[in-house]
């Protein structure tokens, strides 16, 4: 198998790489739980070599383009506004193995309000490769959802919400865990909770406890409790992020049911948003970087 280059998405919890052919085809794809949080700082090259060993050339070098949390070690943040075609900011990493040539794409920082992203900017770049005329807001749905204002191929500003992590904590480690099951998804309970949180975001803490109370004094089912929790948290986020999505062209980048929940929540507010796959956008962004670095 003759690999032309390798695309790497190395985030906090896992590593995903695509082995790319000279015609742009995907020759192989690998996923590992060896995320940046689980690898010692000096061991990244060793882990990388283990993964790409079958594709290393006998002569010459194999280009590897990386994005994600790996940039936290090797590539300094770049400030907004940030032009997504600014590939010269990519950092060439010195490696001991001469068979690989590694470039790492930088993350983005914002001074006020303070915020950072690593990896999502590559997804945005990939989205703009497919939608070059897009101006508006991109919602990057996930554990830490980001809302990014895009204009003229630039990230103008962005804002991060820990909604996914809050759901994980509250559903697994708080009082609410005894009331919740995520085996099914109750759409009516979810949309009602979204509207409730958007109408009364100041009452969020009380309404969260109400999920537990309803499990004790009424016939609320565990799936309905989970949907209410998700809806309340997402509704509070939508209320806070209103300046981003109100009156804007909105696109969602995501890979699972979370993205669909954002789509449903926005639809309730009269915003029709499309969903694109996060992995597809990451690969498109890495591919764009490769073609600029190796024209």
pLDDT string in tens for the chain (295-residue length): 689 999 999 888 888 999 999 999 999 999 988 777 777 766 788 888 888 888 898 888 999 999 998 877 778 899 999 998 776 678 998 889 999 999 999 999 999 999 999 999 999 999 999 999 999 999 999 999 999 999 999 999 999 999 999 999 999 999 999 898 887 889 999 999 999 999 999 999 999 999 999 999 998 999 999 999 999 999 999 999 999 999 999 999 998 889 999 999 999 999 999 999 999 999 999 999 999 999 8
Report residue 266 as tokens: 């926005």
CA 171 to mean position of chain CA atoms? 21
Contact between residue 150 and residue 138 where contact means Cβ atoms under 8 Å apart: yes
Measured between alpha carbons, how far is 80 from 111 in angstroms, rounded to an integer? 8
Report residue 180 as tokens: 């919740």
Res 94: pLDDT: 87
89: left (phi over 0), alpha (psi -120 to 50) or beta: alpha
- Buried b / exposed e along 162-178 (16+ C-beta atoms within 10 A): ebbebbeebbeebebee
Contact between residue 228 and residue 193 where contact means Cβ atoms under 8 Å apart: yes
DSSP H stretches of helix in the chain: 44-52, 71-74, 120-130, 163-173, 187-199, 204-217, 222-240, 242-245, 257-268, 278-293
Measured between alpha carbons, how far is 20 from 1 in angstroms, rounded to an integer? 10
- Buried b / exposed e along 20-51 (16+ C-beta atoms within 10 A): beeeeeebeeeeeebbbeebeeeebeebbeeb
Report residue 98 as tokens: 């001469």
Query: Which string of DSSP letters, residue by residue, matches 34-53?
Result: --GGGS-GGGHHHHHHHHHG
> What is each CA distance from 209 to 90, 183, 241, in whole angstroms?
47, 21, 24
Specify the 3-state DSSP secondary structure of 4: coil
Instruction: Give percent helix, percent strand, percent coil of the chain, each to the nearest 5.
Output: 45, 25, 30
Q: Sheet holding 78-79: strands in order across?
A: 78-79, 108-110, 115-117
Res 1: pLDDT: 64
pTM of the predicted protein model: 0.93
Contact between residue 96 and residue 88 where contact means Cβ atoms under 8 Å apart: no
Report residue 65 as tokens: 């383009």
Q: Which residue has the tokens 């998405």?
A: 9
Contact between residue 283 and residue 5 where contact means Cβ atoms under 8 Å apart: no
Res 41: pLDDT: 65
The angle that helices 222-240 and 187-199 make with each other, rounded to 10 degrees, is 40
Res 165: pLDDT: 95
- Which one, of 104, 128, 86, lies nearest residue 281 by Cα? 128
Res 44: pLDDT: 81
Contact between residue 78 and residue 89 where contact means Cβ atoms under 8 Å apart: yes
Res 158: pLDDT: 98
């Amino acid at each position: 198998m003759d690999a032309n280059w390798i695309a790497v998405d190395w985030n906090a919890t896992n590593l995903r790489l695509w082995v790319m052919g000279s015609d742009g085809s995907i020759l192989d794809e690998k996923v590992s739980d060896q995320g940046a949080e689980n690898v010692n700082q000096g061991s990244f090259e060793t882990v990388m070599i283990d993964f790409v060993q079958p594709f290393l050339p006998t002569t010459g070098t194999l280009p590897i383009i990386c994005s994600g949390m790996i940039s936290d070690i090797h590539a300094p943040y770049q400030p907004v506004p940030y032009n997504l075609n600014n590939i010269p900011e990519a950092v060439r990493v010195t490696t001991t193995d001469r068979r690989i040539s590694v470039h790492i794409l930088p993350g983005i920082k914002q001074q006020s309000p303070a915020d950072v992203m690593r990896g999502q900017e590559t997804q945005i770049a990939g989205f703009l490769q497919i939608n070059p005329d897009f101006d508006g807001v991109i919602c990057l749905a996930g554990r830490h959802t980001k809302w990014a204002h895009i204009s003229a191929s630039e990230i103008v500003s962005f804002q991060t919400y820990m909604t996914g992590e809050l759901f994980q904590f509250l559903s697994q480690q708080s009082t609410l865990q005894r009331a919740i099951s995520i085996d099914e998804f109750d759409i009516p309970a979810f949309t009602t909770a979204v509207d409730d949180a958007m109408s009364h975001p100041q009452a969020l803490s009380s309404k969260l406890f109400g999920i537990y109370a309803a499990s004790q004094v009424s016939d609320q089912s565990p799936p309905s409790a989970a949907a209410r929790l998700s809806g309340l948290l997402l509704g509070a986020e939508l209320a806070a992020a209103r300046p981003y999505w109100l009156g804007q062209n909105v696109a969602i980048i995501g890979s699972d049911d979370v993205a669909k929940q954002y789509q449903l929540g926005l639809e309730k507010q009269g915003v029709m948003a499309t969903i694109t796959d996060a992995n597809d956008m990451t690969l498109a962004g890495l591919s764009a970087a490769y073609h600029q670095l190796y024209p």
